[in-house]
Amino acid sequence: MSAVSTPPDASAATGPPAPARRDAEATKAAILRAARYLLARQAHADITLKAVAERAGVSAPLVLKYFGNKDALFARVMSFEEDADALLDAPLAELGPHMVRHVVASQRERGADPVLRIAFAPLHGDHGDILRANFRTQVTERLAARLTGPDPGIRAELAVATVLGLGVMFGIARGSELRAAPIEHIVDRYGPTVQAHLDSPRQSPTAPDRS
């Protein structure tokens, strides 16, 4: 009697890859977080792949496996696209408070606000120019494109500058009162300041002609 072959178990074939894929994505995310953390505190030239790997809790060869080399890794890290997605993820009428909440929550939960990396551009030489160019196109110009009314460019830059000032006071100057305050208390006080730059300016009434 010929042996009856057993068909492969479909669930066994499809089950294992999903956890592995999730693990790979989690590892890549940890590496990117570690590189962002170091980039916000050290000059690009001083950051080694070994330091990134140690902070991410992985081996240096694994960093190379996922990103190829230091330049490829930091090309990803110097992008603000994902950070801008989170920072600007609110309707325009509610965006000022949202930006404030996002910056403070990022500082408290992760110890840094990724958008604040732009403050360290002077540390990075030619790479600082890449940071500035990415920040301009991916954050301020993207925000300006959402604004209505006159002078959207300057209003976007003022709104972002206001939020960055909050991030500096919280994360770099470490203002004790600010760091002790509830997030919503900060949002209530500071959100309208940011929103004032985002809202379209009201047209001033024309003064009567007294000539």
Give pLDDT tens digits for 149-192.
Answer: 999 999 999 999 999 999 989 988 889 999 999 999 999 999 99
Residue among 40, 70, 41 nearest 53 (CA): 70
User: Residue 14 has which token pair?
Assistant: 């499809």
pLDDT on residue 59: 92
Q: N- to C-terminal Cα distance for the chain?
A: 116
- What is the spatial distance between Cα 125 and Cα 122, in angstroms, rounded to a whole number? 6
Give pLDDT tens digits for 22-75: 588 899 889 988 888 887 777 777 888 999 999 999 999 999 999 988 888 887
b or e along 151-163 (b: 16 or more beta carbons within 10 Å of the residue's beta carbon)?
ebeebbbbbbebb
pLDDT on residue 47: 85
Q: Average model confidence (pLDDT) for the chain?
A: 83
* Residue 147 and residue 156 in contact, taking contact as beta carbons nearer than 8 Å: yes
Distances (CA, A) of 148 to 13, 89, 209: 53, 17, 30
Residue among 89, 83, 136 nearest 106 (CA): 83
**The most confident of 40-54, 81-95, 125-139, by mean pLDDT:** 81-95
Residue 95 pLDDT exceeds 80:
yes
Say if residue 43 is exposed, middle or buried (CB neighbours under 10 Å; 0-12, 13-18, 19+): middle
pLDDT on residue 11: 43
